[in-house]
Amino acid sequence: MSKKSAPVVEFSSSEGDQNDDDFEEDRKVLQRKAKQGKKRGRQDGDGDDAQTCVCGAQWHSSGLHRICCLKCGHLFGKSCILKWVASNHNCPICKKRAVPADIRPLYTSKFAVQDNSDREAFNAAIAKETALRRQADADLQCVRARYDRLQARFRHLHAVLSRNATVFKVAEAVPACNARSLTFHDASRSVLFTTGGAFHRVSQLDSQHCRKIDAGHAGDIRNLQCCPDLGSLNVLSAGVDKRVRVSSLQSESSILGYEVNQAAWSCAWVSTFVIVAGTASGSMYVFDIRKSRDVLAQIQCRVPAGLQSLCVLPSGDAPDVSLLYAGPGHAGVVSVDAGWSNPNWHDFEFDARRCCSASYDAAADRISLSMRGDDEVAHIVVDRGSGDVVHCVADGYTTSAMLGRSSIFTDESLGSCLVVSGDETSRSPWVWSASTGLTIAKLPSHTSRVLDVAYSRSAAMLATLSDEQLLLFKPALG
């Protein structure tokens, strides 16, 4: 039995060639499509897998740029898509309308995002440290600037001290007891200082020649002023016994007295016959000594605080009267007309609530205001010729709780305007330049704190007073 052979399929040569061509063409098409798919896949992965198409930054798992999506499903970083939607109101990919409320945070581990939970804390710590370093640099610059100023002041003082030991030298030292106020009487060439309810008269030529004059006060005298008229021998005194009295150096006794409602702290001569007194309650009483009983006028300060200093300022040809006043808590200038009415109050541009004393230099037309306090103590010099502009500030000293007075004057032998006041720590009078604010000299110290300072231009003499001692100084170069 013979085997049957398998059927043989025969193809013609023309059909085989046609099939090979079709296969080769299909293969090329598939390869081309595969390449395009890979390229598209790479582009899609670069735009969607790990970063936002708006800013190009990587997504974070937390913080401002955490991963989120819109309703359409496209993924973004929260901070950049929030700004985009707020301004464009659509999705940056599909352009579908979107609002900020459509932004939804995603909580999934299927996406490859950057975990920045620690990075945010580090960035905050770095920002804080940077701010602290900047503040430290600013503080360092301030300290260096202050150091440079102190170095310049030291060099100036060293140069001054190298030229002469001091600006003033002690001429006389007079013992005192319970002294408080001080003034010069140029006509008789004498120095007056108070002790209790009386005052002493010391000759400038011979300090051993001292006379005690009873002013008629029942309490301590807080201020003593001589009449500016060179032909007058009258002395005005203000006491804590609520009395203002006029004494005569000729008769060496009290010749006239007035009563006020509070303790009198200060006084001044407006003219040969008109006087003014300041009280502990901030009232100014004006009297005419030609009228023994009547009060000419009463002016109440806006701040009910004591008047430690009263000075009459020149008003030129105007009939008005200008008074410089100062005390604990207030300072300023008040102007009144010839009838002592319609007061016009003038405040300084700076804070004068720490002021304790004021003085005036007619030669330089400058005002000195002394401040006290625990942290900021200074003498502020105001140049009236420039419209009450602060000319300089002299500081560096210490003050005490007890109110003391300072003085500003122009010394012709030195050719400069000076400010003199007592320093609490050293108990010595300090001398400042009113032009530069630098400390020129520290004079020999007292046995106790300095309470009052006065200067006589005609005698070229400086006097400082503590409760136990009176020191008279002469210019060291004179």
Tens of pLDDT, residue by residue over 307-330, are: 999 999 988 777 889 999 998 888
Per-residue confidence (pLDDT) for residue 3, from 0 to 100:
45
Domain check: are 340 and 215 in the same one? yes
**Tokens 């502020």 found at:** 380
In-domain check, residue 455: yes
Domain check: are 85 and 156 in the same one? no
Per-residue confidence (pLDDT) for residue 374, from 0 to 100:
62
Residue that is last in its domain, among 304, 325, 347: 347
Domain check: are 362 and 334 in the same one? no
In-domain check, residue 138: no
Per-residue confidence (pLDDT) for residue 310, from 0 to 100:
94
In-domain check, residue 56: no
In-domain check, residue 334: yes
Q: For residues 310 and 267, is the Cβ–Cβ distance under 8 A? A: yes
Per-residue confidence (pLDDT) for residue 329, from 0 to 100:
80
In angstroms, the CA 413 to CA 92 distance is 86
Per-residue confidence (pLDDT) for residue 440, from 0 to 100:
82
Which portions of the chain are predicted below pLDDT 50? 1-13, 37-48, 164
CA 426 to chain centre: 26
Per-residue confidence (pLDDT) for residue 8, from 0 to 100:
46
Domain check: are 328 and 426 in the same one? no
In angstroms, the CA 237 to CA 254 distance is 10
Domain check: are 391 and 437 in the same one? yes
Per-residue confidence (pLDDT) for residue 47, from 0 to 100:
43
State whether residue 126 is helix, strand or coil.
helix
Q: For residues 454 and 184, is the Cβ–Cβ distance under 8 A? A: yes
In-domain check, residue 299: yes
Q: Could you list the residue range(s) of the whole structural domain that residue 343 is in? A: 211-347
Domain check: are 240 and 339 in the same one? yes
In angstroms, the CA 197 to CA 417 distance is 34
Per-residue confidence (pLDDT) for residue 350, from 0 to 100:
76
Domain check: are 315 and 378 in the same one? no
In-domain check, residue 44: no
Domain check: are 393 and 453 in the same one? yes
In-domain check, residue 275: yes
Domain check: are 463 and 427 in the same one? yes
Domain check: are 364 and 326 in the same one? no
- Per the structure, the count of domains in the chain is 3
Instruction: For residue 458, give the CATH number of its domain.
Output: 2.130.10.10
Alpha carbon of 420 to those of 32, 204, 275, 465: distances in Å? 101, 20, 26, 12
Residue that is last in its domain, among 326, 347, 368: 347
In-domain check, residue 377: yes
Residue that is last in its domain, among 320, 347, 374: 347
In angstroms, the CA 450 to CA 471 distance is 10
> How many other β-carbons are positioned within 10 Å of the β-carbon of residue 171?
15
Domain check: are 378 and 289 in the same one? no
Confidence (pTM): 0.64
Per-residue confidence (pLDDT) for residue 156, from 0 to 100:
78
Domain check: are 251 and 299 in the same one? yes
Per-residue confidence (pLDDT) for residue 42, from 0 to 100:
42
Per-residue confidence (pLDDT) for residue 473, from 0 to 100:
92
